[in-house]
Amino acid sequence: MAFDLLVEKGILEPDSDFKNSFEELDSKFEDLPNKLLRSAIDELPDHSQTILKFIASAGTNLTADELQTFIKEYYKEQDVPEISTADEARSYLEQQFKTQGLRNSAIQAQLDELEDEGKLEEEAGKLLKSKNKVTDTLLQEKELENSKIVQAQKDFNVSVQTALQETTWSKPQREKVLQVIPKANQILNDVIKTPKAYLQLMDLLSMFDGKEFDLEHIKKQGESRVSSSIKEKLEKSGFSSAATKTKSSSDSPLKDEWKNYKPIV
C-alpha cells in the first residue's frame, strides 16, 4: 500500500487510524512541507532554532513588526544572570521579590531564612527555570493563529466545492472555473494593468450585493442579443412575417395588369 511505503521511507508518520482513503492521504501531504521544514530546523544549531521555528510556524501570516518583536524578546531572554554564588543568588531573588510587590522587610526576612538554610542558590535556580519565556508565549499564539487560518481556508474550500455542485453549470464550465481558481491572483494582477479589463471588472463588482452578483441585466442583454441575431438571420435567409408577405403581394407592380384580366372560355 502507498501509505505503508511512505511510512517505511520516513516521509510520513505511522498512523494506526489511517483509513486508506485518498482524502486522508491528501491531508497528510498538505502538512508534509511543514514537517520537513521543522525536521530541517531541528538539525541546525540551538541558538538559531527558536527564531526559525517562529518564522516557520507563522508561514505567510507574519508581519515585519511581529518578527522584530520576537527577535527583541529572544535576545532579552539570552541575557540570563549568571548565578554561581550566594550573593548573586540573593541579589537576583531580591529583584524578583520586589517585582511581586512585597515589602522590603518581608523580602529581607525571607532571604535571611533561605540563607540560613543554605538554599539561596537552589531557590534562584528554581525561579529562573520556572519563569515563562515571552518567546514561548508568542510562538504558541502564532501557531494557534496560523492553525485557525489554515482550518478556515480548508472550510472555505469545502464550501466552494459545495457551491459549485449546486450550480446549474455544465461539467465543462465547472472544470473551467476550477482551473481558474489557482490562477485568480495572477489574473487579477493582469487585469488591473489593463484599463479596459479593469473597468469591466469594476462593472462586474458594482453588481455585488454583499453575498452574490446580481447578473439579471447581463442575462437580459444576452437574451436581447440572441433575439436580434435570430431576427437578422431570418431576414437574410428571405423569411418574413405573414403580414409582410401580404403587404408585399398587394403592392406588387403586376397588380394593375391582372386587375382587367378576364379568362377565355
Our CA dihedral for 138, 140, 143, 149, rounded to 10 degrees, sits at -80
Closest to 157 measured CA to CA, from 32, 5, 26, 16? 26
Q: Which of 2-16, 79-93, 165-179, 204-218 has the highest mean pLDDT?
A: 165-179
Over 80: is that where the pLDDT of 24 sits? Answer: no
Residue 178 scores a pLDDT above 70: yes
Helix, strand, coil % over all residues of the chain, rounded to 5 = 75, 0, 25
21 inside domain: no
Comparing 144-148, 186-190, 219-223, which segment has the lowest mean pLDDT? 219-223
Whether the Cβ atoms of residue 15 and residue 31 lie closer than 8 Å to each other? no
pLDDT on residue 28 = 63
Query: What is the distance between the alpha carbons of residues 106 and 114, in angstroms, rounded to a whole number?
Result: 13
The grid coordinates listed for 2 are 502507498
Q: Does the CA dihedral 145-157-206-211 come out positive or negative?
A: negative
Other CB atoms closer than 10 Å to residue 58's CB: what's the count? Answer: 20
Report whether pLDDT(118) > 80.
yes
Q: Which of 169 and 254 is assigned the larger pLDDT?
A: 169
Would 202 be classed as within a structural domain?
yes
pLDDT tens for residues 58-89? Answer: 878 889 999 999 999 888 887 777 788 888 88
Average pLDDT, the chain: 78
- What average pLDDT does the segment 43-65 reach? 83
Quick check: is 122 in a domain?
A: yes
pLDDT digits (tens, 9 = 90+) for 191-236: 999 999 999 999 889 888 888 888 777 666 665 565 666 666 656 6
What average pLDDT does the segment 12-30 reach?
65
Strands of the chain (E only): list them: none
Does residue 137 lie in a domain region? no
Angle made by CA atoms 216, 190, 202, in degrees to the nearest 5: 30
Assess if residue 183 is contained within a domain: yes
The answer on 176 and 122 residing in a single domain is no
Q: How far apart are CA 265 and CA 255, in angstroms?
A: 22
End residue of a domain, out of 65, 98, 130: 130
Report the domain count for the chain.
Answer: 2
| DSSP three-state, residue 213 | strand
Q: Residue 196 falls within a domain, yes or no?
A: yes
111: in domain = yes
- Which residue range forms the structural domain that includes residue 213? 170-233
Out of 130, 156, 189, a domain closes at 130
Lowest mean pLDDT of 96-110, 122-136, 180-194, 230-244, name the range. Answer: 230-244
pTM score of the predicted model: 0.53
What does the pLDDT read at residue 223?
A: 59
Last residue of a domain, one of 130, 153, 183: 130
Residue 174 lies in a domain: yes
